[in-house]
Each structure stands twice: as structure tokens, then as C-alpha cells.
Amino acid sequence: MPLTNPNHTGNIVLKDVLKINNFPSNFLFRFTGNMLNRGWSFTAPRSIPGLKGSCLVIPCKFSYSNSQPKELEVIWYLYQSNGYPAVFNQRGDVTSKFNGRTSLIGSVAEQNCSLKIERLEMSHNHDRLYPWIDKNSITGHCVLQCPFQEITMNEPPGELTEGMATNVICSVIYKCKKNAPTIIWNYKDMQNSLNTKQISVKTYNIVSNLTFIPSLSDDGKPLTCTAQFITGESSSSVTLTVKSEFLHMKTLLSFIPHKRSLWDRLSR
């Protein structure tokens, strides 16, 4: 399965409650070798909740821009750095962590590529899945058409004082307007604003400004911003240092000059 940087994968997030993130379709693949690009695309929901030990279904529909071939096959793959093993393959082996757990729901002839996963385990945490829909196997590679840079946290906050607001900014540069990211902070209850600028014909810079109000309980915890693209994601993080408001006031008071009264000066 020599596929590099697939533009469309789903991400499984499993804690006590499972969540599967699937990105929208309509990305662009370009294949080389003896593989013919059949012009198909698929759609799936962005997220699906589930429970450890239970089963879930990833709804999936596909379509062809040209006439749909006969005898189609649907194979689901696991996207990882050291290869792309199958998690569902009706005629072949699948990776052990999904062995005996996956099946297709619905009819492929009716453009249904929905995947059922049974007996969810913690080992499925953050797995990224994507389908391949064709009667031919993949023998080439794909070229990513909409790349993005790593997200950066501009001037990460230093020592913070509880209750005192500070602005934290994250920005990321990316190609293709259709690949605009969603910026997510791990402190979701804090106010933030978003601004996008076009810096060249096909290049954009998106900036997220978070108004962060720390508490003592935040000391030692990470502050993370994440850019979620159709084609992947990037994160930047800093460990927070928060001091007490009381200690801050005590420090300020220690620097206030002591003024003696006229009586004090005359009595000396």
C-alpha cells in the first residue's frame, strides 16, 4: 500500500468515550505508475461518539465523477508512519488490532462504504482510517496539493499571574483556500478571535488570538493550539507557569516607597 500523505483520513480518539473524526471529501489525488485515477471521492461525518467495548458505524458514501465501474471493492486502511495496513479487506489480511472486528454495512453497488467496528479497544486511540474504492489496487503514490506549515505560538507566555488576562497568539501558513484550518485551543472556554490574510495568490496566513485568564490550578499544565486541516493537523504547546495574585500584590507593595509624616521627621 505505497500511499504517502493521504489527503483524507479519519482520526479515532478513544478515552472512556470514543470519538472518531473524519475529514470532508473533495481532495485531490494524483497517481503515477500503472494506476488509473478513476475520479472518485467519498464523504463521512466529522466526528462520531462511541464507548469502549461497544461497536460503532462510520457512515460513508462515495461517488464517481465519470461512470461508475462494475465489481467495485471497498478496502479501509490504517494510516501510520511505517505503512498502511488494511483494517477491512474482504479478500485479504487485515492488521491484527482490527482482525475480526470490521465489516461493511450496506451495499457497495449503492455507493455505500460505511464501516462497522466492533469491540472498541484503547489500542484504537488516535488511529486514522480511510477507504479505497476501486476494483484495482493502488500501485502508485499521491502528491499533496495543499500543503501547510507547522503552527507556531508567537511569543509564548512567560510567568503569569492568576486572574490577570494575557493574549496568546498562534498562526499558521497554508496553501489553498479550500484547505482553511480550524484552530482549536485546549482551553475551549476562553475567548478567542480569528483573522485570515491572503499573503500571495494561493497562500494564506490564519491567526488565532486567545485571551487567556489563568488560575493557580493551571500551573504546570500545557496550553496548546492545534490547526486541523483537511489534509492533517499541526500543534504547538507551552507549559504554563502561574503565580498567586496575593504574592504578586505583596511584591508590588514591597516596592512602594515609605513616606514618613512631618511629625516623624521632626521627632528624630
Q: Quick: pLDDT tens for 107-127.
A: 888 888 899 999 888 777 767
Query: Which residue segment(s) compose the domain that 85 sits in?
Result: 10-133
C-alpha 14: how far from chain center: 14
Last residue of a domain, one of 69, 101, 133: 133
Contact predicate 114/57, CB 8 Å = yes
**146 domain residue, yes or no:** no
Same domain, 112 and 213: no
Q: Quick: pLDDT tens for 54-66.
A: 888 888 888 877 7
Residue 186 sits in a domain whose CATH number is 2.60.40.10
Please give the angle made by the CA atoms of 2, 9 and 119, to the nearest 5 degrees: 105
How many domains would you assign to the chain?
A: 2
DSSP 68: P
**142 domain residue, yes or no:** no
Same domain, 17 and 108: yes
Contact predicate 35/135, CB 8 Å = no
**227 domain residue, yes or no:** yes
DSSP 69: P
Ranges under pLDDT 70 in the chain: 1-39, 46-47, 50, 81-82, 126, 134-145, 246-268
Do strands 152-154 and 166-175 pair parallel, antiparallel, or not at all (unpaired)?
antiparallel
Q: Quick: pLDDT tens for 124-159.
A: 776 778 888 765 544 444 445 678 888 999 988 999
Confidence (pTM) = 0.45
